[in-house]
Structure 1
C-alpha cells in the first residue's frame, strides 16, 4: 500500500504574492497540481495534502480532484511538524509513505516510480532522493557511503564550512516505511538554527536509510521566489518543446514560444516565433501558426494558417486561413475553407464552409451559411442595450462594404446587401437590399471664407 503526502502549508513570503506559493502557475497548472500529477501513475491508496497558509483557498482550488484528503498544520513549525500531523489520519496504515513538496514541480513520474521501487526492493526504512549540484547553497547536505547508506542529513545553515564542501544534496523527497516513521516522529526536536522540527532528523533515527541520486538535477528544483519560478518555467517549456519536436512539430524559434502541458499538436505543424498556446489547445496536421499568435483552448483542424491573431475557445475547420490581426472569441466555429482576414472579430458565431470575412468586420451572435462573402466593414449589431440578438445569413449571400445588419434579422440565400446599407428587416432569398440615404450633389459649392 502507498500513501502520498504533499507538504503545502507554507506562505511563500519571497513570492510577494496574494496567492499561496503552491497555487502559483507553471505552464498552465498550479505548482501543487503538477506535484500531484507526477505521482498519479503510482495509484496511491491515500493522497493527503498538508495545508496551512490560506488553507481554504488551496482546498477550494483542488476541489475538483476526487479522493484528496486535507490535513491542517497550524502553526507551521517545520517539515517534521508537518508530517507529525499525519499520525492520526494514518493511524493503522501499514504501507509506505511518499513525501513530496508542493513547491517542487519538475519531478518526472518515472523518477518517483524508480524511487519507490528501490525503496521496496532494498527493504529500507527510508529512501530519500538526492542530487549533486554545482552550487548546493541553501540545500541540506546528505552524508552517505558508497553503498548508498545514509548516515545523516545536515541543513545548509547548520553545516560547518567543511561539511558545505559536500555537494550531495537532499531533494526533500522521501519514501518511508510508515510504521517505522510513526515510531520516531514524536522524538524529533527543535535543536537547530531555526528552532523547527526537521523531517530530515528522522533519517538518523531510521535504519537502514538509503538514498537514490537523480540523474537530472533540474527535477528537484524548488521554488521560493519569482526568479526560481521563471527558471522552472523555462525547464518545463524546454521539456514540452523537445517532446513535440520529437513528434514532428517544427519550432522556428523555440525560446520565444510557450505551451501548456495539455496542448496537442499534429505532425508537420510549424510554429513561428512569438506564439503562445494555452489550455487544451489542439492543432491539426500541417498547420502553420504565427508569428505572433495566441491560442487558448482552441481547436484547429488540418492545414490551418494563423498569422498575428488571437483564438480563444473557438473551433476552426480544415484549410482555414486566419489573420493577420484577427480575433476569434469563445463560441466561434468555422467550417472548412473559411478565410478570416485583417482586423476581423468573430464572437459566438457559426460560419459555414467557404465563408470569407476578409476586412475590418465584426460578426457577433451570427449564423452564416456556406460561401457567404462579408464585405469590408460589415457589422452585425447584435446588442439592443438590454439583450443580445442573432443574425442569420443564408448561403451564397454577400454584404457590401460598411453594411450594418441590426439583429434580430434573417437574410435568405443569395441575398446582396448594397454597400453602406443599414438593414433592419428580414430579406428574402435572391433579393437586393439597400438601406442608405439618397446621394445629394450640390454644384458650385463655395469655399469656406
Structure 2
C-alpha cells in the first residue's frame, strides 16, 4: 500500500499574490493539480493534501477539477494551522495514518514538472531495496543554494549537508536533494516525534528525520528540470517554457507541423492528430482537439473546442465550440458560447457566432452577428445580417430553414422562424414568422422627391 502526502500549506509570499501559491496556473492547470496528475502511474491507496493558508480555497479548487484528475482515491485534506517546516507538515499526518503499514510518498505542491514515470521509478526502487527512506535527487549543473547529498557506491545516503555548511570540496558535489521522499511509514512514524526546531528558522525539517533512518537510498532523476520548484513569477514563467518545450517536441515527433514553435503556445490538455499545421502566433488551450489536415492560424486562439478534419482557422477566436470537417473560419471571426458549425461551411470576415448551430454548407461570409440561432443546410447569410436576440430582459432564438437566403443589412428580430427556401430582401427588419418558399420584404417604400433641397436657415 502507498499513501501520498502533498505539501500545500504555504502562502508563497514571493508570488506577491493573495492566491495560494499552489493554485497559480501553469499551462491551464494549477500547480497542485499538476502534482496530482503526476500520480497516474503510482496508484496510491490514499491521497492526503496538507493545507494551511486559505486551505478551504485549495480544497474547493481541487473539488472543481476532480473529473480532470487521473483515477485517485478520495482526496483527504489535513490542516497545518502553523507553517513550521516540512517536518512539521508531515507530523500532522500522525493521527490520520495511525495503523497504516505501507509506504508514504511525500511531494511538494509547488513542484509541478515531475513525470509520472519518475515517481514510479522512485517507488519501485524504494520497495525493491526495502529502504527505510528513498530520496529523489538530481545532478544540477549549478547546485548553488541546494543541500548536497553524499552517497557511497551503492547510492546509499551517508550525509546531507546544507549549501551554507558545505566545505569548498563538498560544494563540488552536484547531487542535490529534490525534496521528494518515499518513506516506510511505520519507521517514519517512530522518528517524527523526535524532530526538533534547532535551526535559525525555528522549523522542523523532514531531512532531519532521514538522519535517524537506515537504509536510505538516493535515486537520481533523469532530467533535473523535473524537480524545479516555483517560488516567484519568474520561476513560474521558466516552468512554462520547460512545459511548452516538452509539449511541442512531443507533437512534432507525432507528425504535427509547428511553424515557428517559439511563437506558439499549446496546453498539454490539447489533442492533435498527424498532419495538423499550427501557424505562428497561435494559442491552443484547454480541452481542445484538432483533427488531421486542419490548418490553424496564424494569429488564432482555440480554447475548449473540437475542430474537424481539413478545417482552416485564420486570425480568429474559437471558444467552447465545435467546427466540423472542411469548414473555413476567418479572417477575424469569433465563435463563442457553444457554437456548432457543420461541414463545408464558410464563416468569414468579422462574423460573430454565439450559442448557435449551423447546418452543412451554410455560409456567413462577412460582417454578421448570429446569436441564439439555429440554421439549416445551405443557408446563405448576407453581409450585415444580425439576429436581434435580446429584448432587454430575455434572450430569444431565431430559426432559419434549409436553403434560405438573407439580403445584406437584414435584421431578424427574435423570436422568429424563417422556413425553407425563403429569401429576405436586403435591408429588411423581420419581426414575424415567414413560411416556406417565400420572399419577405420588410422595409419602408423608397420615396424620391425631385428638386428638393434643404432650405437655408434664416439669419
Q: CA deviation at 1:192?
A: 2.0
Report if the CA contact (8 A) 1:152-1:203 is conserved: no
Where do 1:332-343 residues align within 5 Å? 332-343=339-350
Matched, 1:60 2:60: yes
C-alpha distance in structure 1 between counterparts of 2:360 and 2:308, whole Å: 13
C-alpha distance in structure 2 between counterparts of 1:158 and 1:433, whole Å: 87
Where do 1:178-197 residues align within 5 Å? 178-197=185-204
SS of the aligned residue for 2:420 comes to coil
Structure 1 unmatched runs, 5+: none
Q: CA deviation at 1:155?
A: 2.9
Where do 1:135-284 residues align within 5 Å? 135-284=142-291
C-alpha distance in structure 2 between counterparts of 1:136 and 1:192, whole Å: 22
Report if the CA contact (8 A) 1:141-1:155 is conserved: yes
The superposition leaves residues 103-130 of structure 1 with CA deviations (integer Å, 9 ceiling, x where unpaired) of 0011111111111111111121111011
How many residue pairs are counted as aligned between the two chains? 449
RMSD over equivalenced CA pairs, Å: 1.4
Match for residue 131 of structure 2 among 118, 124, 137: 124
Q: CA deviation at 1:162?
A: 4.7
Q: CA deviation at 1:411?
A: 0.8
SS of the aligned residue for 1:189 comes to coil
Q: CA deviation at 1:156?
A: 3.0
SS of the aligned residue for 1:430 comes to coil
Report if the CA contact (8 A) 2:80-2:92 is conserved: yes
SS of the aligned residue for 1:62 comes to helix
Report if the CA contact (8 A) 2:41-2:117 is conserved: no
Matched, 1:395 2:395: no
C-alpha distance in structure 1 between counterparts of 2:347 and 2:302, whole Å: 15
Question: In structure 1, what is the equivalent of residue 32 of structure 2?
Answer: 32
SS of the aligned residue for 1:60 comes to helix
Where do 1:412-427 residues align within 5 Å? 412-427=419-434
Q: CA deviation at 1:443?
A: 3.3
Match for residue 318 of structure 2 among 299, 303, 311: 311
Report if the CA contact (8 A) 2:376-2:401 is conserved: yes
C-alpha distance in structure 2 between counterparts of 1:174 and 1:137, whole Å: 21
Runs of 4+ in 1 over 6 A off after TM superposition: none
Matched, 1:347 2:347: no
Question: In structure 1, what is the equivalent of residue 17 of structure 2?
Answer: 17
Q: CA deviation at 1:157?
A: 4.1
C-alpha distance in structure 2 between counterparts of 1:304 and 1:384, whole Å: 35
- TM-score normalised by length of structure 1: 0.97
Matched, 1:411 2:436: no
C-alpha distance in structure 1 between counterparts of 2:444 and 2:201, whole Å: 82
C-alpha distance in structure 2 between counterparts of 1:353 and 1:101, whole Å: 50
Compare 362-371 and 236-245 and name the one that shifted more.
Answer: 236-245
Question: In structure 1, what is the equivalent of residue 91 of structure 2?
Answer: 84
Matched, 1:98 2:100: no
The superposition leaves residues 311-367 of structure 1 with CA deviations (integer Å, 9 ceiling, x where unpaired) of 111111110000011011122111111100010000111101100000000001111
Q: CA deviation at 1:141?
A: 1.5
C-alpha distance in structure 2 between counterparts of 1:227 and 1:112, whole Å: 26
SS of the aligned residue for 1:200 comes to helix
C-alpha distance in structure 1 between counterparts of 2:455 and 2:228, whole Å: 74
Q: CA deviation at 1:74?
A: 1.5
Q: CA deviation at 1:203?
A: 1.4
C-alpha distance in structure 2 between counterparts of 1:123 and 1:224, whole Å: 34
Report if the CA contact (8 A) 1:126-1:203 is conserved: yes
Matched, 1:50 2:57: no
Report if the CA contact (8 A) 2:321-2:339 is conserved: yes
The superposition leaves residues 178-205 of structure 1 with CA deviations (integer Å, 9 ceiling, x where unpaired) of 1111111111121223221110111111
Match for residue 356 of structure 1 among 356, 363, 372: 363
Match for residue 108 of structure 1 among 98, 107, 115: 115
Matched, 1:288 2:295: yes
C-alpha distance in structure 1 between counterparts of 2:200 and 2:170, whole Å: 16
- TM-score normalised by length of structure 2: 0.95
Q: CA deviation at 1:160?
A: 4.8
SS of the aligned residue for 2:247 comes to helix
The superposition leaves residues 47-105 of structure 1 with CA deviations (integer Å, 9 ceiling, x where unpaired) of 01111111110111112536111111120100011111111111111111110010001
C-alpha distance in structure 2 between counterparts of 1:195 and 1:154, whole Å: 18
